[in-house]
Amino acid sequence: MGTVLAAFPGIEMFGGQGIKKETAIAQFMTKALGLGVTLVWSVVATIIIVFICKATVGLRVPDGDEETGLELAEHGEPSYTLWTQRKSLIRISETTCEKQNPDQIAPAGVFYNQ
């Protein structure tokens, strides 16, 4: 919108330096044409790139790799260790609760507010 409407702030009615309305409208039409050409170019180029990628390497990974996680399937290592950290926190929390108050052991995944 900034590119297309850049012609109008120069009109005196909007506090500009006094560009004529006809000039502003001509500039608006030129910018709108440029925006349309850029939009069409981007859509066509994207479609061509998608077809090339689909024909060469495909657009999807195998179902097994998707379920395992791409970081393990593609690179052989986990990228996020949040689940591993969470499991160890649950074990630590359960152990701590057992030592402090054995009558109120938290089930897995529940933390006491301390």
pLDDT tens-place string over residues 47-92: 999 999 999 988 888 888 877 777 788 887 776 666 555 555 555 5
d(CA 112, CA 101) in angstroms, rounded, equals: 11
pTM: 0.52
* % residues pLDDT > 70 (the chain): 68
The residue-averaged pLDDT of 6-25 equals 82
Number of C-beta neighbours around residue 7 at 10 A: 21
Q: Is 24 exposed, middle or buried (0-12, 13-18, 19+ CB in 10 A)?
A: buried
**Cα separation values, 112 from 16, 84, 86, 99, 102, Å:** 64, 20, 15, 13, 13
Yes or no: say if 19 and 10 are a contact pair by the CB < 8 Å rule. yes
Asked whether residue 24 carries a pLDDT value surpassing 70, the answer given is: yes
d(CA 41, CA 56) in angstroms, rounded, equals: 23
Q: What is the pLDDT of residue 114?
A: 46
